[in-house]
Each structure stands twice: as structure tokens, then as C-alpha cells.
Amino acid sequence: MAKTSVYYDDLELVDETYFLSSMILEKNHKLIHISKHIGEIEKATGIFIEPRPGLVRDISNLSMPEPFRQIYRKCNFTRLVSTPKKEPIFSQLFPYHPVKYNSKGEIIKDVSGQTDFDTSARISFSVDEKGISIQASDQASVFDLSVKSDGSLLVPFVNPKRDILFIDVYDSDLNLVDRFKMPNEIFDVKKGESIAQIYIDNLNNLYARVLSEEDYPRLEKFRLNLD
């Protein structure tokens, strides 16, 4: 059993080394902490990309910036997975930009996901007599990362309206080899539903943990045809 004073979104154990990811909206934030023992950080690394251009600046200009630097804490904003070759792959929910590392935390390759729509966060702030409030409109989002036994990477994501689901397939060298597009039948935006986690196994079964404003969280299973 181990404890840490920092909240992390995700964790991967790679070659007896822990990779832990988190997000704080401040310049030069290191997204990944690396350690042989949880609670004893040996190295901090990672490519920090603003969820949308200018967001860090806008937060810095607020009268009370610190609480808003933490707006993605405890919401699983970052994702980690590892390949059969013990290479961690990291991604934020937005923008779409997976990054592969070696077991020492050195960058092997980073890929900016190419889509027909903006994958950055649609978030803004306003100030009135009640204080500072956050507004967020519909936005595209990467849900999760899944690595298959052959080392290929699957990246499920949605368009800003969240009515179309895409699954990008990358080979073991992080080259895009295919893209699948289908109606979003996993969650209903009109009911206030959202995705907490998605996993795709070697048999192309998709498992999704769906959060709902009307009911308890539920686990959905779908059979994908990715041929």
C-alpha cells in the first residue's frame, strides 16, 4: 500500500516503474511523474498542450486564478496506457495529441490527431457580481486509449456535437493506418450522459462506463466490426 499527496488521473506500471499523469493549467506543467516507488517522484516529464490556445493566459488574468488552474483535477482528464514493448502512451482528452515514451520517460513520437473539426476545449470565463463562472459548450473529446496485443493503438473520440464516434487505429510505430466512423449509440447527450472510460479488447469488444444525470453509472458492451 502506498500514498501520494498529489491527485493523479491515471497510472501505468512499466518495467517496475510507475508512470502517473495529471493536469494543472499552468505554463510548463509536467504532466507525467515517474517513480520506482509511489510518493517518491524521480522525474517529471511530458508535453503540455493547452486544452485550448490562450486558456492558461486567461486563467492567469483572473482575480483568483488558482482554483481555476485545477478545473480538470479529479475528472480523469489525462490517459496512460503501455504497449507490449513497455512504451507508455499518453493523451489528454483534448486536444487530440497522443505521445509515446520509452521506459525512461523520453519521447519517442508525438502525433497531432488530424480531424475535420477543432478538438480543443470550448471553455471560457465570465465575471459578474456573483463571482467567476465557467462556460463550456459542445466539444470534441478523446475518450481513452487501448493497446492490442500486436502493439496497435486504438483511439476512440467524438465530434463536437457528440453524435458521431470515431476510432483511429495506429500501428506500433504510431502511424495512422485506419479510421472508423459510426453513430454514437453509447451515450445520450440529451439525457446528460457522458463517458468516464472506454476500453477495447483484442476481440474488438468495446466496454464503456457511462455516467448519467438521471440514473446510476452503467457499463455498456458493444461488438465492433473493425475489418
> How does strand 107-110 pair with strand 153-158?
unpaired
Contact between residue 161 and residue 118 where contact means Cβ atoms under 8 Å apart: no
Q: How far is 74 from 96, CA to CA, in rounded Å?
A: 20
In the prediction, which pLDDT does 75 show?
Answer: 78
Grid coordinates given for 209: 462506463
Contact between residue 74 and residue 130 where contact means Cβ atoms under 8 Å apart: no
Q: Which long-range contacts (CB under 8 A, 24 or more apart) does 58-64 make?
A: 58/124, 58/125, 59/25, 59/26, 59/125, 62/125, 62/127, 62/132, 63/127, 63/132, 64/132
Going by C-beta distance under 8 Å and a sequence separation of 6 or more, which residues neighbour residue 66? none
| Sequential DSSP letters for 39-76 | TB--EEE-----SSTTHHHHHHTSSS-HHHHTTTTTTT
In the prediction, which pLDDT does 128 show?
Answer: 78
pLDDT in tens, the chain (227 residues): 445 556 889 999 998 999 999 999 998 899 999 999 877 889 999 999 999 999 999 999 988 898 899 888 877 899 999 999 999 999 999 999 999 999 999 999 999 999 999 999 999 888 777 778 888 888 999 999 999 999 999 999 999 999 999 999 999 999 999 999 999 999 999 888 999 899 999 999 999 999 988 888 999 999 999 87
In the prediction, which pLDDT does 88 show?
Answer: 96
Fold of 10-223: Neuraminidase (2.120.10)
In the prediction, which pLDDT does 161 show?
Answer: 94
Element (H, E) at 154: strand 153-158
Q: What is the pTM of this model?
A: 0.91
Q: How far is 150 from 18, CA to CA, in rounded Å?
A: 23
Q: Is the dihedral of CA 59, 111, 171, 103 positive or negative?
A: negative
Strands of the sheet with 78-82, listed across from one edge: 78-82, 88-92, 99-101, 107-110
In the prediction, which pLDDT does 4 show?
Answer: 54
> Residue 172: is it exposed, middle or buried by C-beta count within 10 angstroms (0-12/13-18/19+)?
middle
Q: How far is 215 from 227, CA to CA, in rounded Å?
A: 35
